[in-house]
Structure formats: structure tokens, C-alpha cells
Amino acid sequence: MNNTPEWITRSVSRLRTAAPAADKATDKTADKTTDKTADKTADKSVKAALDKTVTDVVAKVAVPRSTHERLQATLRRGQEALSPRALRRLLADLQEVVAPQVSEIEGGRRAQTVAEWYAKAEPEERRDMWLLMCEQFAPDATRFKSARQRYEAAAGTAEEGQAEISLRRALVSPRTRLLQRFSAFSEGMRFLVDMRAEILPLLKADKRLLPLDAELEHLFSTWFDVAFLELRRLSWDSPASLLEKLIKYEAVHDIRSWADLKNRLDSDRRCYGFFHPRLPNEPLIFVEVALLDKISASITPLLDEAAAPVDIARATTAIFYSISNTQTGLRGVSFGDSLIKHVVETLTAEFPRLRTFATLSPIPGFRSWLGKHAGAMLDRLDDKRRSELGRAVGFEPPQATHFLGALDKALELDAKSPVRQMLLECAAYYLGRELQEGKPVDPVARFHLGNGARVERLNWAGDPSNKGQKQSYGLMVNYLYDLKRIDKHRSLLAQGKVPVSGDIDSLCRD
């Protein structure tokens, strides 16, 4: 089986040698004109047969064998990692984990043994284990079909309840029990979260892994429900190992040094994280908060290590300036909204004077979006404003390239610049109007607006760092959490209307 390329070459050679023979037979039975036509026809026929054969052979080689086929085979094929024999042995080990006579404790011990093998396995060998989990531990299709038919037949009768129970049980795959056994040993939860983090980047290229990913996400949404999480304050007195993780996982504004971290944990700051009992020393998500007397317009003073702490006794505003998820394997499991709610409750209890809860947030997708939609935004201008912008960029009428070129040094634009005004209007439209499948296109906007906030204010030069300029020309945005209107804002968003302040609405210029 490993000589497949050589077999293709031999087959192609035989087909090529058949072509002259076909040509020679045609020459003996036709005149010169007919000969030429026949030659071309024969050549086309042979070429078509050759192309079809090669295509069929390559297709056979390119399509990977299922684990069902590999388990029945004797030899390994192509790029397959585990031999059929090794694959059968690994399947037996996985089946032993969920054997009916095995207790939860013993099943967990056996799962740990498999996890130890996994830790030493090569990436492609790990993929083979994932494929076994997907294909060999799937729900019983026959049982599901029977249960579904029984449920449909029982609809509206006294048997409907029992039929529903049977259908639910038929939908539970052996894979669920297998993954539950892996969660039973001490490091099992860590193992499963890390395993999903490995799987996620491969899903687009290998759809066979989708069932395992979906099962893990479903289980994690239950295991990491907010009811099982603990909110903890992180301070300068927290263990060094935990502080190191804050530095490692900070995803919005990089922590440059221990002095930088100490500033973010000073007396006028708060940092909170959600923890799970099975991952006691790993914050799943954490938020950094600054206590101020007004809504902040720039990240620079918040990150200034030399700035004096604010008198927290006079603080009226809590600014959430960084929220970071730490576990890639928990993608799709939402607990950010619960974190904000819990933090607001905790802060309110500690500081009764707090009245305003807002964010100072980046706009990570804006610059990329504007690069694609600048022309459409210019088309929205009336003749007067188009002429003003044209004079400012030196080209009339201005084109998208002219406008974007003038933004290369956006932070140098003065407050009355038509280019600056146009950029603010584009940002307001991006945040307040641009939706995809009913949701904001910007990921940070999608998070906060989905949690019931509203787009409150755009801040020029809010983040003048290189990262800030690459993301949004230095713009930042405040999302306001009006505790009395959170449900109203969510309802508006569900209707396809982004909740925005009056200032943002006027900038959108509908």
C-alpha cells in the first residue's frame, strides 16, 4: 500500500503506450483526411481515459480511510499515524474506560492511563485518538431512529412522556460517558480543556472532528456553569504563580513588567477572576477595573505607572478596561456576562457611591473593516461634505484610496479636520449600524452589547500605541452598562437595533 505512487506511474505508462497502437489501427482503414480526424479523436479518447483513471486513483488515495476501515485492515496506508494493530489496541483501551462493569473510580484511573499515553503521542497519533472518539463512540443510529419513530407516534398520547425519555437517552452517545470518565481523575479537566484547544484549529480542514468538539463544548457549558464558579479578587498579595498567569493571559493591553502589574493592582484598582474547583489555580476569565470620578477617555493614564492613585472614597465610576479569557479550550462557553454582573454587585457592596459602570474598550476590527468599506462610506456624503473632504485630502472628488491615505497619520489630525470627522462617523456607523446575522461585526462590541450595554462614546487617540493604531487608528469606545436598561438594550439588539447614545446616533448620519 505504501507504493501507491509507483502503481499510479505504471498505470499511466500502460495507458500512454496504448495510444500509438490505437493510432496505427486507425491509419490502415482511412484516407489521409480521415486519418487526421481519427488521430485527434483517438488522442482525445485516450487522454480522457487517462485523465479519468488518474483522477479516480488520486481521489481514492486522497480520501482518508475511516477508523472503521482501518480497524479491519492489516497494513497502514500513506500518512496514517497508527497502524491498524495499534489503532485496535487504543480502541480497546478506550472501551475499557467505559466498560459497563467498571466503576467511576476505576474508569477514571483507566482514562488517566490513556491520558499518559496521549501526553507522549505525536500530533497525528493524537488525531487518531480523536477520530476513534468521533467514529467509534457515536450514538446508535438504529436505536435513535426507533426512538424517534416511537416519540412521533406517541405525540399527544399518555405515552408521550416516556417516549421523550427514550428519545433523549438514544441521543446520548457513548462518547459522553467516555469524556465524563476522563474528567474523573485529578488532572482530567485540565486534560480535556487542553485537548479541545488542540482540536479547534483543525476543524475547518477535518470535519470528522466536529462531533467531538461539539460534545466537549456541550459538556463544558454544563461543567463551567456560573453556579460552579468562584469569583476571587486578585491582588498584589496573591501567590506569585497566579500573578504570573495574569501577565501571561492578559490579551487587551500587554503587561510589560512587574511594576506595570503592580500599578494595575494598586489601591484604586480591582482585578477579579472566575475560578473552577477542578482548576483552582487557573483564572478562566479576569477583568481589570479602575475606580475613577468620571468615564475615562484614554488608556494612557490608566497604564501610567507614575500616576498617583485616585482617592477611592470619592470614586463614582468603575471602568472595565480589560477583560481576558484565558482558556482557548473553553471557546464558546460564555461566562463574561456573569463575571461583569458579579463584579458590579461586589463593587457596589464595597463602594456604595459608585453610580456609573462603563468600559474603555478597543475596536479591534475597525481598521480592517474600513479598508474594505471606505468607498461605500464616501458614497453616503452629500456634495458639500464630499467637496470639503476632497480639499482636505487634496483630491476632488476624493476616492477611498485618498481618504485611507490621509489616515496614515490620523493622530496628527486637528479637531476640525474633515478627515477626522469622517473617521469618527465611520467608526460610529461600524459600531452602531453594521450587523452580520443580526449581531455586531466587531467582536468586543458583540460581547458588551450582547450583555446589555450600549455604545456610549468614541474617544479620539484613546489608545495611541502601535497596537491601537493598527486596530482602529487609535480610537477607543466606552460601552455603558446602565443597570436599569440592560434588559431593554438586549431586547433592542434582538430586534436588530444596536443601542447607542445620542452622540453616537448623530455621528451615524443615517
The residues assigned a catalytic role are 361, 448
Tell me how far apart the alpha carbons of residues 60 and 64 are, in angstroms, rounded to a whole number: 8
Amino acid at 508: C
H or E stretch covering 260: helix 258-264
CA nearest to 281, candidates 225, 242, 240: 242
CA nearest to 138, candidates 198, 195, 67: 67
Q: What is each CA distance from 179 to 86, 131, 173, 176, 189, in whole angstroms?
A: 21, 14, 10, 5, 10
- Cα first-last separation, the chain: 65
Rounded to an integer, what is the distance from CA 153 to the centroid of its chain? 40
Tell me how far apart the alpha carbons of residues 266 and 262 are, in angstroms, rounded to a whole number: 6
Q: What is the DSSP string of 191-253?
A: HHHHHHHHHGGGTTT-GGGHHHHHHHHHHHHHHT-GGG-EEEE--TTS-HHHHHHHHHH--SS
* C-beta separation of 287 from 274 below 8 A: no
* C-beta separation of 137 from 175 below 8 A: yes
Q: Is 296 exposed, middle or buried (0-12, 13-18, 19+ CB in 10 A)?
A: buried
